[in-house]
Amino acid sequence: MSYDRIILLSYDDVTPHNVTSFRRAAAERNIKLCEWIPHRISIWCGDGRVQPLYENSPQDPGVIIHRTVARLRGIAVPALRLWEKGGSRILNDLSASALARDKLATAIKLTETGLPVVPSLAFFPWEETAFGRLPPGSTVLKPAHGRQGQGVSFFATRDAAQAEARAIQWGDAREILSEHSLAQPVIGPVGQDIRAYVVNGICVAVARRTASDPRERRANLTLGAVATPLSLGHPAASLAVAATEAIGLDYAGVDLVEDADQGLQILEVDAWAGFAGLEQATGADISGRILDLAMERLGGGNI
């Protein structure tokens, strides 16, 4: 059976390997996957109505799988909500995606749910920023909305990280810093974490990521890290499912770190996490699982 109303909202040159995986999975399932470019969305307000448009025309999508729209929320999110109001299914849930985009909001939600989270101090830099609540050892500073390890800095001690935070200044015109940051202790081996991917309440892939360069402290596959597959029975799998459900996402990449004394702790939940490298390492069909969910949502409605 051919489904011709499944939309992939993404840029094929931003996450090319993930898009290629979606195309492959769609072909295997006889799905006509329609690819939309986010910048071609517009919204018309007038004549007593509000209407989302794609390529200047009204559209009636069945399911929209949104990927690289985090920085395009001004138009993309209201348009998606309008399509949703008209009966379209949206993967992932928009409110949950926005929550997951903010590392502080994610930490708050997971902590309130009772899940083990890496201790985090969210702060705006100023001359008396205090990190005394963190343990004294290695500490990382990161932007709350960072991605793919960008803007992440590691320090040998908590005091060194605190000194750096205190040294960050506003601009010459006292431009207000709008982005908040997080300070966290470094948990487990430096340059190593666990990435689990959850789709529709099931963990479909788990791997340990290790930086290939001993000088690199970030374990992102886009930075050259190597992924070693782990069993789906690994405790990280069930914890990733719980984290994804707590945030309210249909699918997500969940990053975890492991401490010898305290066990697994959740580092991040990412609604737009890449998965091509994880597929290659584990053999999992993550894009196919997401399309299966899209077909399930499409077939379950009155469309």
Q: What's the gap between Cα 109 and its chain centre?
A: 15
CATH 3.40.50.20 residue ranges of the chain are 3-91+287-299
Task: Output the pLDDT for position 217.
Answer: 80
Q: What is the pTM of this model?
A: 0.91
pLDDT tens by residue, 93-151: 999 999 999 999 999 999 999 999 999 999 988 889 999 999 999 999 998 887 766 78
CA distance 141 to 145: 12
Task: Output the pLDDT for position 301.
Answer: 42
Looking up tokens 């750096």 gives: 164
CATH 3.30.1490 residue ranges of the chain are 119-186
Task: Output the pLDDT for position 212.
Answer: 84
Cβ-based neighbours of 142, under 8 Å, separated by 6 or more? 103, 151, 152, 153, 181, 182, 184
Domain 3-91+287-299 matching CATH 3.40.50.20: the answer reads: yes
Domain 119-186 matching CATH 3.30.1490: the answer reads: yes
Cβ-based neighbours of 228, under 8 Å, separated by 6 or more? 207, 208, 209, 210, 281
pLDDT over threshold 50, residue 266: yes
Task: Output the pLDDT for position 30.
Answer: 94
pLDDT band at 178 (very low <50, low <70, confident <90, very high): low
- Let me know: does 204 contact 240? Beta carbons within 8 Å: no
pLDDT band at 281 (very low <50, low <70, confident <90, very high): very high
